[in-house]
Each structure stands twice: as C-alpha cells, then as structure tokens.
Amino acid sequence: MLEPKPFREEDLRIQVLKEYDILDSPSEEDFDQLTKLASCIADTPISLVSIVDSDRQWFKSRVGLGLSQGPRATSFCGHAIHVEAQDIFIVEDATMDDRFKDNPLVTDDPNIVFYAGVPLYGKGDMPLGTLCVIDRKPKVLSDKQINQLKTLANQVMLLLELRLEKKKVKAMNDKLRAANEDLKNFAFVAAHDLKSPIHNISTLIGFIQSEDDEISDDLKYKLELIQKSSNHMAVLIDRLLEHRVLVDQANTKREWVELEKYDEYFISLLGGNNDAEIHFKSDLDKIYVNTVALDQVLLNLVTNSIKYCDKDKPRITIRILEKENEYHFEVEDNGPGIHPDFQAKMFKLFEIGATKDRFGNKGTGIGLSTVHKMVEGQEGEIRLKSSSNQGSTFHFTFRKLLEMPK
C-alpha cells in the first residue's frame, strides 16, 4: 500500500482549511443534494464530500457510507488532492493497482474497487478535499460523466465559499452589534452623569437671581439665557435616556388591547390639559400588540400634532385597521403640514423641523427617531402623507403574529 504524501505546502493548506471552519460541522441539505447527484451521474452506490485534515479525512456529506471519517494514511482522497485544479483522480480497479490493492479500504469494508475524486481547491489554490464517487466493482467513466462531476465539484466549492462569507458577515455583524451596544451604554451613562451638573448649574443660577438684588439688567438677561439653555439641556438628556429605555422595550411581550377602553386610557396618558379633540375610529374590538410600543408611538405622534398645530383647536383622528399580516394605524391632524425638505430626514436622531412649538418650547429631535425604532421593532413600517396647510397623516404598521392566542 502506498500512503499519500503530504501536500507540497501542507502547513499553508491546513491553515486555509481552518479558515473555512468546515471540519465537524453539522450536515447540510445543500451538500447532501450534490453528493446524491454525483452518485446518480457516476452510477455508484457511494459518493462523498471528503475534507482532508492533517491526519484524517472527514466527510461533510456522504451517500452509501456509514463512516463519518477515516485515517488519512489509507485514504484515496489523500492522493486525489495532489492533482491539478479542474483535473480528476481515477482508480478504475483498485484490486489491480499496486498503490491500493492491499489497502484495508479495498480488502475490507467498504471494499473499494473504483474511485474517482475531483479536488476542491480553496483560497490560494489550496486543496481542501474532494468530491468523490466510489463503487465496489471496476468502472470506466465517460468524458461526459467526468465533466459533470467536475461541474458538481465547482458547485461544492461555491457552497464552501458561500458558507465562509456568511460566517464572515455574521462575525462582522456581531462585532457591529457589540460596538453599537457599547456606544449605547456609553451614551446612556454619559447622559445620566450630565444630569447632576446641569441641575447644579440651574440651581446656582436660581440662587444668584434670588439672592443678589444688585446685579445689572444685562447680567440678569445673560443669566436668563443660561437658565433657558440649561433647562433645554436637561430636557434633552431626559429624552435621550427615555429614548434608550423605550427602544430597549420595543420587543416586550404582546397582549390583547380592548379598543373600546383604549381611547380613554390613551387620552389619560396625554394628561388633562392637552386642549385637543382626539377621535379613535376602528371596526375592530381588540388587537394583539406590544402595548409599550403602541402607547409610545401614538403618544409621540399625537403629542407632536398638538404641539405644532397652528389652529386654535388641534383635531386628531386615530384609525386602526386590520390587514392579513399586519395592523395598520393612521394618525391624522389638522396642523400646518410638514415641509418636504424635513420629511426626508424627520426620523433621524436630533433632526428638528420647527424652531419652536405652539408653547414656545424648542424640540429635541428625539421623539420621531424613537417612533421609527419602535415601529421597526414590531417588524413594521412608517410613512408620512403631508402637504402645506393640509395637515399630516402618519401611517404605520405592526406585524401580526401568524397564530393569535385565544
């Protein structure tokens, strides 16, 4: 018996093989379909996707063979990886071949007589293993069969490359998620830590204003500006902290919401001084949704409609409809509409569309970003229909569960 020689760049070959992270991985239907097709093409009872490790051959996919691996020293594939790319290693009758006739794989189970293996060449033309077909009797393959096996081997290699790319993408996504989480945590901690000095500044200004009667009018004016700025900063920090908490809650559990009772509950969330007409319209009795997400999305949209309304009496209509795979919500107001230039960026964090609201307060540019994130968390979409002096209508959806609980 002739043992297979190490590949000419064996250390590099093993290094490349490890990059593919294929050894001892679970079976995959895509590979199994190709090995089944290889058996059909060659008309053999056994076919394998064989990966050649440093001291063993391991079968990613196998047809007609119970073993999942075997020693490299007795492997036919250990010889096959030495042929050039797009070539094939064929042994038509191993019992008559001095290299294999006393090989235990020939003299004992699985009693290999015929073998044909196409090497699987990975990065840097490093052979990872083979797509091979095996029979227990002598066989000669036609040129057509050989070409078809080579084509299948290319498909196996494409699957291995795709698998490697998916692994890289997953690793990159995991890294990005970790970095994003670190950034979110930093922003949360930084915002929280800023609350105390901002509060101290506001308190100190109030103390100076109340205790010192001799300060000039000019200084009083400047202190008032500092006070307004610190108050706005405090509001901004609170909204940032709220944004983080609400987005994290976007995937909390769902529950049934009785719409007949929800309108009163929602209006109570706004408080008694909202000075607006709010109407709920729906033919539905109840909906099964994430109530935290629904409350906060509607609360943000309705609050904005009230704050930025240019009419004496804000009028808001909330419609709730049901479609096959989603709930559809509409929030329509009688406000001034939203300028087209702002519509393209309105859901980005810190984007502000109006200088001040009807109460003289400056916005933070956080509310609509929170809305967008929470709608996405419910596998939904949000869009706006608005024109100048015609009011605005926000349309958003929440994905329904495939099976609703009783």
Q: Is the pLDDT assigned to residue 246 strictly greater than 60?
A: no
Q: What is the share, in percent, of the chain residues with pLDDT greater than 70?
A: 80
Structure tokens at 282: 């729906």
**Identity (one letter) of the amino acid at 387?**
S
Structure tokens at 116: 């044909």
pLDDT, tens digit (0-9, with 9 covering 90-100), for 290-303: 888 888 889 889 98
* pLDDT computed for residue 213 by the predictor: 64
d(Cα 306, Cα 174) in Å, to the nearest integer? 41
Q: Phi, psi (5° rounding) for residue 351?
A: -80, 130
**Domain limits, the chain:** 10-166, 252-399
pLDDT, tens digit (0-9, with 9 covering 90-100), for 9-59: 999 999 999 999 999 999 999 999 999 999 999 999 999 999 999 999 999
d(Cα 81, Cα 58) in Å, to the nearest integer? 14
Cα dihedral sign, 31-33-38-44: positive
Task: Tell me how far CA of residue 207 lies from CA of 139, 204, 319, 324, in angstroms.
Answer: 100, 5, 49, 61
Q: Phi, psi (5° rounding) for residue 364?
A: -105, -15
d(Cα 218, Cα 229) in Å, to the nearest integer? 17
Q: Is the pLDDT assigned to residue 338 strictly greater than 70?
A: yes
Which CATH number among 3.30.565.10, 3.40.50.2300, 3.40.50.1000, 3.90.1150.10 corresponds to the domain 252-399? 3.30.565.10
d(Cα 1, Cα 9) in Å, to the nearest integer? 23
Angle at 61 between CA 137 and CA 166, to 5 degrees: 150
Among the ranges given (144-158, 290-304, 318-332), the one the predictor scored with the smallest mean pLDDT: 290-304
Angle at 128 between CA 122 and CA 130, to 5 degrees: 110
* pLDDT computed for residue 249 by the predictor: 55
DSSP code per residue over 325-364: SEEEEEEEE-S----HHHHTTTTSTT--S-S--TTSPPP-
Q: What is the share, in percent, of the chain residues with pLDDT greater than 90?
A: 52
Q: Among 366, 373, 369, which Cα is nearest to 232's?
A: 366
Report field, pTM of the whole predicted structure over 0.75 = no
- Asked whether 375 and 294 are in contact (CB, 8 A), the reply is no
* pLDDT computed for residue 396 by the predictor: 96
**Over residues 375-395, mean pLDDT:** 89
328, β-bridge pairs: 321, 397
- Asked whether 231 and 252 are in contact (CB, 8 A), the reply is no
**Over residues 218-229, mean pLDDT:** 71
**Number of CB atoms found within 10 A of residue 285's CB:** 10
Q: Which CATH architecture has domain 10-166?
A: 2-Layer Sandwich (3.30)
* pLDDT computed for residue 48 by the predictor: 97
Task: Tell me how far CA of residue 326 lies from CA of 34, 115, 272, 396, 399, in angstroms.
Answer: 39, 56, 32, 10, 4
pLDDT, tens digit (0-9, with 9 covering 90-100), for 178-191: 766 665 665 555 55
Q: Phi, psi (5° rounding) for residue 335?
A: -80, -165
Task: Say what the alpha-carbon torsion angle 50, 62, 60, 159 is, to the nearest 10 degrees.
Answer: 90
Q: Is 36 helix (H, G, I), strand (E, B) or coil?
A: helix
Q: Among 243, 250, 227, which Cα is nearest to 192's?
A: 243
